[in-house]
Structure 1
Amino acid sequence: MGERKGQNKYYPPDYDPKKGGLNKFRGTHALRERARKIHMGIIIIRFEMPYNIWCDGCKNHIGMGVRYNAEKTKVGMYFSTPIYKFRMKCHLCDNHFEIQTDPGNLDYTILSGARRQENRWDPLQNEQVVPETKEVQKRLFDDAMYKLEHQAKDVKAASDAKPVLQKLVERNQSVWDDSYEANCRLRAEFRQQKQEIKGQQELDRQLLAKSSLDIALLPESKQDREMAALMKLQTKTALEREAEQRLDLLIRPALPGATTTTFGGTKRQKALNSQLQLQDLGIKRKSKEVGKPPVVSLVGDYASSSSSTCSDEDNSPD
């Protein structure tokens, strides 16, 4: 935009080049309203708060980075560096505060109207690189022994910081040495995760279609697998339940007043158990061959077992 402004200047018909530029011809300043106090040595600038402060007027906190229209004034010199003072109005009240530059300490100083929020610390405690002061520089130039001691301290500090710096360099090399390779690995991981998610979604869709459900399935967890394993162990097949029912019917006494001992005792129970096991094996074999559900006759089994039991009771000694 700067080059366009120079080309789009309007020169009125009564313009006289002998009077100078357009600003002198019109009797205005190039900074317009910002230079309304230029005759007093004051110029209006956009000032940004260098640190957190507390306003003395409204006692509110003003954060670092808040911008104000400040009056800039030159108040002195620090060697060849000018010292400026900035006066601005608080945006929350009618209080004005003044801040001045401090080139000697590379900082800003509050003159009036506010107080600084103390967040300062000694940079040497954080192992920061601090520039040497004028006194130290002068002593290094004049005192050879002090210069030698200072160099020894610098060498020791460099040797102490070398392992940490080496670790940082190795980490940066391992992570960002080959950005293309790192990008390829990352994209390959994303591709694999996307395929796994698509496969799981397909399995969920098939399960919902098979069960005629319209619900959102949650991801499987370790607790779900453990509960399913316990339920599978506790459940029994139809053949096992049928075998247990047959055993209960066979062991049950025929007469109401009879007992298990009079009906056959332990010997008969063992025979029934072995007979049921043989029948189960035959049923499973037939079901595998024919492919049809087995048909079990309790009457025939009961008659054959009762006849064998009666013969055993007749031959057994009293």
Structure 2
Amino acid sequence: MAPDFSSRKPQCNNVVRVEMPFTTRCLSCSRSLARGLRFNAQKTHCGNYLTSPIYTFSFSCPTCSSPLAFATDPAHRSYRIVTGMVAFANKTTVEEVETLSLPNHSIYEVQEARDAMQQLEDEKEDKRKATEAKSRLEALVQRNEDTAGGGNDIERNRALRSVHREGRRERDALQEATRALGWDDDGGVKLLPASDEDTRRARAAMAVRARVTKVSPATALRKRMSGAASSSIFAPGVYDGGKKRSRGRT
């Protein structure tokens, strides 16, 4: 009887401990390998299904040492026999393990369909990028035209010099106003051009000042005191000295 190597401890990194996914029978010695039987197997990467790797597990029959192997089947959420054994009729199905059964398409058909969809997505992305680039180019052309302002170089030069001339006049006027107030140009205090906001705030401040200075607090106090002195503290019909004061009598 051949020794059982399945119970030995793995000696390399690609030897793993696995279980039989379904009950099989060895083709050489007809030994039954029950589902759930654990053994050491050589794990090998043999391909991919889309992005899922496909692994092959190779081992020897415990009785006759014949090479046996099975592999993962990502397309059907199951396993398939590679060599050396055959599965019994009670092989595990996708209904038993409560998984979804995928259509029986080959890897090449699925890959071709995926490539076609990817090509459509790439074409759509290229069109979107071309549209954005065209919009940016049109915006740049329009901005250049707006900056140029139309006309030839002589007219644009004349308009630019006129703008600079107006700015220089405004700066000279502000400097004259600063000197008129007695401020030194090198003192760090400079007048700014007048704006509508400055005018509105100045008018509001002047209105508040006029209301405050119109009647002083002392004048208002004197008016209140004089009014209190001229009025009587007794209302009509109030008893005076035990006798009721009658109206119209002296």
Q: Which range, TM-score by smaller chain?
A: 0.3 to 0.5
Larger radius of gyration: 2
Where relative contact order (Cα < 8 A, 6+ residues apart) is larger, the structure is 2
Q: Which has the higher strand share?
A: 2
TM-score normalised per structure 2: 0.34
- TM-score normalised by length of structure 1: 0.27
